[in-house]
Amino acid sequence: MNSYQKRSKTELAQRVAQDIFDGAYVNLGIGQPTLVANHLPAGREVVLHSENGILGMGPAPAPGQEDYDLTNAGKQPVTLLPGGSFFHHADSFAMMRGGHLDICVLGAFQVSATGDLANWSTGEPGAIPAVGGAMDLAVGAKSTWVMMDLLSKTGECKVVQECSYPLTGLACVKRIYTDLCTLECTPHGLRLIDTVAGLSHAELQGIVGLPIEL
Amino acid sequence: MINKIADSVAQALAGVQDGATVLIGGFGTSGNPIELIDGLIAHGARDLTVVNNNAGNGDAGLAALLKSGQVRKIICSFPRQADSWVFDDLYRSGKIELELVPQGNLAERMRAAGAGVGAFFCPTGYGTELAKGKETREINGRRYVLEYPIHGDVALVKAERGDRWGNLSYRMSARNFGPVCAMAAKYTVATVHELVELGEMDPEAVVTPGIFVSRVVKVPRVATQAGGIRE
């Protein structure tokens, strides 16, 4: 029996949201990162960027109000907040690549201790490749954060010495938020930010199998 | 007198040649110029290279163009989707060539073509499979990949409003790739839902100036899902 409780998906989204500062321009990737928007602490004004050309993206519309000229990166209908704006794709990606976004939160298959990211392809033979904005996002934001379960469905740690899946970007991830811990990636390796209650540093190092600096 | 208004899609597309590179706006179905794609199918030009963010959804629009066998190669960032079965079958059976490009590079390579830039150094994809074999350079301590422009023979763009000079404005996030496609092709056709007199468009709100546009065709609004507004 473990003496600790994993963070639920909601708790993980809350944990990430806690670190998003007032005034930040943020891109939330498709999938789990999207949940972060629902947990931004009250009183913080955060501007969400959507790669298809929106700043100031709001939540999903009420049923019946969907407008498919106003969609997010996952092609789901969204809304626009007062102050929001539209722009074309080259400008949208200039916002990423040009370092104008403060934070980008992405999912991942693997992250290396020094921040290499693998999140676009499992490299399976015969699979149809698709990259979208993953590589642009990874290298562009001032801080790229990954949000994922620490272990894969088959129990392997997704934080690794070196990624075995095809890379999305080199040394681009600053922080990894997981269901068990929050880690920082540095040029020298991992550093601990926090763990869930009841999980010791030594236990976590055992799970990850890599040194984690305190 | 300048009059870029075409009476029909067929008239606007009459000059498309076999072997053309066709830049198509849209992100998923949003901003997808479906009437122009249908027009290209009816026109029948073959051996096309198509540039779009995706590789078709469902069975209509770009998916139908692929299914028609008119497309030799597609340049896109995200071909695989839940409803991309037409592309998936063609790709698996070796009937279509794929050039996979990171989304921002796709946009910037078209912008570069439109802006007369010969090539540019871009950090995206450095050290990944998609940069294999490409020239790289370290500039001020950061590593970059050399990326070349994507020029179009034809661009197909869905806009909202236009006039006879070809000035265009778009509707919300349906703008997406439209403006960069428009500037990157030798011949750009745009559909609009509203055609207005010269001077009626707010000059401060023109997104694509008419210099980038060759023909404007008015088409009816279509309902949601196909990329239009709910009526």
CB contact under 8 A, A88 and B176: yes
Give me the total of CB pairs closer than 8 Å, taking one residue from chain A and one from chain B.
Answer: 150
Per-residue confidence (pLDDT) for residue B82, from 0 to 100:
85
CATH assignment of the domain containing B212: 3.40.1080.10
Determine how many CB atoms are found less than 10 A away from the CB of residue B3.
10
Q: How far is A89 from chain B (nearest CA, A)?
A: 5
Q: 3-class DSSP state for residue B230? A: coil
Nearest-Cα distance to chain A for B23, in Å, is 14
Q: Which two tokens stand for residue B102?
A: 């990171």
Query: Per-residue pLDDT tens for B181-195?
Result: 999 999 999 999 999
The verdict on a CB contact (< 8 Å) between A90 and B111 is: yes
Confidence at residue B226, expressed as pLDDT on a 0 to 100 scale: 40
Catalytic-labelled residue, pool A11, A45, A51, A124: A51
Q: What's the mean pLDDT when you consider all of chain B?
A: 94
Tell me, yes or no, whether B224 lies in a domain. Answer: no
- Dump pLDDT digits (tens) for A195-206: 999 999 999 999
Contacts of B26 in chain A (CB under 8 A): none
Residue of B53, B134, B147, B173 to mutate when probing chain A, most A C-beta within 10 A: B173
Could you give the count of Cα atoms lying within 13 Å of B202 in the half-sphere of its Cβ?
Answer: 4
- Which residues in chain A are closer than 8 Å to B80, comparing Cβ atoms? 127-130
Q: Which residues contact B115 (CB under 8 A, 6 or more apart)?
A: B183
pLDDT band for position A127 (cuts 50, 70, 90): confident
Give percent of chain A with pLDDT exceeding 70: 100
Q: Which amino acid is at B83?
A: D
Residue B196 belongs to domain spanning: 9-218
Ordered domains of chain A (ranges, CATH)? 9-213 (3.40.1080.10)
| Beta pairing partners, A145 | A105, A175
Asked whether the predicted pLDDT for residue B157 surpasses 70, the reply is yes
Does the pLDDT value for residue B209 go beyond 80? yes
B223 has pLDDT over 70: no
pLDDT at B211: 98
A51 catalytic per annotation: yes
Residue B20 lies in a domain: yes
The C-alpha atoms of residue A46 and residue A57 are separated, in whole angstroms, by 10
Nearest to B104 among A54, A128, A133 (CB): A133
Range name among A1-5, A129-133, A164-168, B31-35 with the lowest pLDDT average? A1-5
Question: Would you state the pLDDT for residue A3?
Answer: 85
Model confidence at B230: pLDDT above 80: no
Question: How far apart are alpha carbons B213 and B168 in whole angstroms?
Answer: 8
SS (H, E, C) chain A: CCCCCCCCHHHHHHHHHHCCCCCCEEEECCCHHHHHHHHCCCCCCCEEEECCCEEEEECCCCCCCCCCCCECCCCCECEEEEEEEECCHHHHHHHHHCCCCCEEEECCCEEECCCCEECCCCCCCCCCCCCCCHHHHHHHCCEEEEEECCECCCCCECEECCCCCCCCECCCEEEEEECCEEEEEECCEEEEEEECCCCCHHHHHHHHCCCEEC
Q: Test A89 with B176 for CB contact under 8 angstroms.
A: yes
From chain A, the residues in CB contact with B53 under 8 A are 89
| Closest chain A residue to the Cα of B182, Cα to Cα | A88
- Select from A52, A68, A97 the Cβ nearest to the Cβ of B176: A52
Q: What residues of A are in contact with residue B207 (Cβ under 8 Å)?
A: 88
Chain B hits for A68, CB-CB cut-off 8 Å, are: 29-30, 224-228
Q: Report the chain B residue with the minimal C-alpha distance to residue A163.
A: B128
Residue A188 scores a pLDDT above 80: yes
Is A132 an 8 Å CB contact of chain B?
A: yes
Q: Is residue B17 part of a domain?
A: yes
Q: How far apart are CA B156 and CA A114, in angstroms?
A: 43
Q: How many domains does chain B have?
A: 1
Report the pLDDT averaged over residues A170-189.
98
**B1 in any annotated domain:** no
- The mean-pLDDT minimum among A49-63, B149-163, B198-212, B214-228 falls in B214-228
Mean pLDDT of B135-155: 98
* Residue spans of alpha helices (H) in chain B: 9-13, 34-43, 62-67, 85-92, 103-115, 178-184
pLDDT at B109: 98
| pLDDT tens readout for residues B56-96 | 989 999 999 999 999 999 999 999 888 899 999 999 999 99
User: Is residue B156, in this structure, part of any structural domain at all?
Assistant: yes
A188 at interface of B, judged by CB pairs closer than 8 A: no
Of A1-10, A154-163, B11-20, the range with the lowest mean pLDDT is A1-10
Nearest-Cα distance to chain A for B124, in Å, is 5
* pLDDT tens string B127-140: 999 999 999 999 99
Contact of A81 with chain B, judged by CB distance below 8 Å, is answered with: no
CB contact under 8 A, B30 and A69: yes
More confident residue, B44 or B221: B44
In this prediction, residue A31 has a pLDDT band, given cuts at 50, 70 and 90, of confident
**What predicted TM-score, i.e. pTM, was given to this entire model?**
0.95
**Contact (CB<8Å) B173/A71:** yes
Question: What local confidence, expressed as pLDDT, does residue B227 receive?
Answer: 40
B4 domain residue, yes or no:
no
Tell me if A69 and B179 make a contact (CB, 8 A cut-off).
Answer: no
**Inter-CA distances, B229 with A66, A144, B171, Å:** 9, 35, 9
Residue B13: phi, psi to the nearest 5? -100, 0
User: What tokens does B181 get?
Assistant: 């496609």
Any B CB within 8 A of A88 CB: yes
pLDDT in tens, A88-115: 999 999 999 999 999 999 999 999 999 9
